[in-house]
Amino acid sequence: MKLAAKRALKDFLGQIPLTAETYWMIRQHGQPVSGFALRQTAARLPEWAQVAQEAAQHAPKGKRVCIFATLRYWIAHTTAVGLALAGMGHDVSLAYLPYREWQQRISRFDLRRSDAYARWVFRRAMPVLRPVSLLRERPAPLPPALAEAIAQVAAYDVQYTLQVEDVDTQSPLYRLRLERNTAAAGALLALWRRRRPDVVIVPNGMILEFGAAFQTARFLGIPVATYEFGEQRERTWLDWNRPVMLQDTTALWQAMRDKPLTEAQWQRVQELFAARRGGRLWANFARQWQQTASEGGEKVRAALGLDDRPIFLLATNVLGDSLVLGREVFSRSLAEWVRETVRYFARHPEAQLVVRIHPGERLAKGPSLAEAVHQALPTLPEHIHLIPADATINTYDLMDIASAGLVFTTTVGLEMAMSGLPVVVAGKTHYRDRGFTLDPTSWDAYYQFLDALIANPQRFRLSEDQVRMAWKYAYHFFFDYPRPFPWHVVYQSEDMTRWPLKRVLAEPEFRETFTALTTGQLPWTKADGEVA
């Protein structure tokens, strides 16, 4: 009861002008609000702002750039990005919302206290970087087309947060996400109509308020760059006028597919995939792909009781992962594709199906795709095998004995193609339609591929040219698509110690990436993001 009363009091006080700000000034001045601390940013700002200001004096006049951020770690990261761009001569503003988390409500009183603290931190960034608190913007009403796009972002938020595919639009989480995304879009709509930037920069661009910012910029016709981070240190993914999580490699592949790899490039990609197969860390990759060492395909065949019938390896994704959202081609969802595939193979005992649940599910909060398998077939027939996420089986050993692969968007599909296996791709993954996979666009086409593969899997084995093409694509995806960048968002504290702003601005490769954030121009594109 006391907690409810306290919340009610905070909600009441949060509506009264200056109450939260006065409380923070008197009781907490200079101190972060619980859960929303920018201590390292505050410590760096005096030096980094001076470096940016001095560098800008010798830089050509750049563009009007507005960066959007929310959540403590992204605000800290985009502040550094903004200072780098300012040092390169751009007129940079940072529009922010001082939320500390995305899935829980926060009182207006606490939110305004966090904002008072953020403005106190950012005072050291001015005038080289202009902070803009979106709490102080009166949101504009959303036109219907933008409101529809914002509702889709809220649905993605629920899928991402709960790691599910079915969204209850009456749930408290959906209502919270729709409310916050709508408020963010309305505030940005008002801001950008009043002070239109030349370019907007948004992390991710697909979920949470980041998705709302992306959709608002595109609604207004403002060019927008999105960026995110994968498993590599000192590398970032970025895109132009698209959410970067879609990993659209079309322009890259059009520019590179006809260029042969050098011997050094072949050696590099071969070393990477040897490490992936063996479950080892490699170079600047901060992730182990397998937790179990390879034992050989025949040992796995014996352990699972597999015989000489064709083996189809279905490798799943993790439900709700950003790389799955909005990737449907002909199925309504990832889970539906799994269910229907299992039902299909139940009718075809002349082949064997191995469903490998993604090892990443061990860390997931949502339901397992194993549930989709059991929904389709409560009792599995002898020719269908389910490998759970925590099984001590190396996925590459399964690839060695497979006749064909079935994937939604997982990178395992690319690796199977690199091994010469025919791979049927059911989702919009980055390597779909690149010349070495089977890419159905309807259920009928999907079943026709399966029928033909069961009848004669050898007929669909990749040619030598296709295998080389898959390896070439893998090289460009892993080594060219991620661009040089100093500060990974997960490791930004140590990265910013290693790469202070002055050192970053002196590094040509990093400057090229920062330039791409304001132009869309990559080594394989023109300034508008089209193929060079």
Return the pLDDT at 286: 43
Return the pLDDT at 45: 97
Whole-number CA gyration radius for the chain: 25
> Reading across the β-sheet that carries 91-97, which strands appear in turn?
129-133, 91-97, 64-70, 199-203, 224-228, 235-240, 483-484
Average pLDDT for 260-284: 80
Cβ distance 323 to 245 under 8 Å? yes
Average pLDDT for 278-288: 49
Cβ distance 341 to 406 under 8 Å? yes
Which tokens hold the place of 410? 């997982």
What is the SS3 assignment for 5? helix
In degrees, rounded to 5, the angle at the alpha carbon of residue 444 between the alpha carbons of residues 310 and 339 is 65
CA distance 87 to 408: 42
Average pLDDT for 215-226: 98
Average pLDDT for 141-150: 98
Round the average pLDDT of the chain to a whole number and report it. 92
**Which H/E stretch holds residue 81?**
helix 72-87
Average pLDDT for 88-104: 97
pLDDT band at 279 (very low <50, low <70, confident <90, very high): low
CA distance 132 to 94: 6
CA distance 77 to 74: 5
Q: pLDDT tens across 179-215, in order?
A: 999 999 999 999 999 999 999 999 999 999 999 999 9
Which residue is it, tokens 């729709």?
178
In degrees, rounded to 5, the angle at the alpha carbon of residue 472 between the alpha carbons of residues 467 and 473 is 95
**Which H/E stretch holds residue 156?**
helix 144-162
Cβ distance 139 to 189 under 8 Å? yes
Which residue is it, tokens 């699972």?
304
Q: pLDDT tens across 2-14, in order?
A: 655 555 555 555 5
CA nearest neighbour of 149 among 190, 178, 189, 171: 178
The separation between the first and the last C-alpha atoms of the chain, rounded to the nearest angstrom, is 64
More confident residue, 90 or 298: 90
DSSP 29-43: TT-PBTTB--HHHHH
CA nearest neighbour of 344 among 448, 423, 424, 458: 448
Return the pLDDT at 323: 85
CA 22 to chain centroid, in Å, comes to 39
**Which H/E stretch holds residue 277?**
helix 263-278
Q: Which of 211-225, 289-303, 390-404 has the lowest mean pLDDT?
A: 289-303
Burial class (CB in 10 A: 0-12, 13-18, 19+), 194: exposed
Q: pLDDT tens across 54-65, in order?
A: 999 999 999 999
Cβ distance 156 to 325 under 8 Å? yes
Q: Is residue 95's pLDDT more than 60?
A: yes
Q: pLDDT tens across 339-372, in order?
A: 999 999 999 999 999 999 998 888 878 889 999 9
CA distance 179 to 157: 12
Return the pLDDT at 527: 59
Share of the chain above pLDDT 70, in %: 92
Return the pLDDT at 275: 82
Return the pLDDT at 31: 85
Domains of the chain and CATH, by start: 2-137+196-251+483-519 (no CATH), 261-479 (3.40.50.2000)
Average pLDDT for 137-166: 97
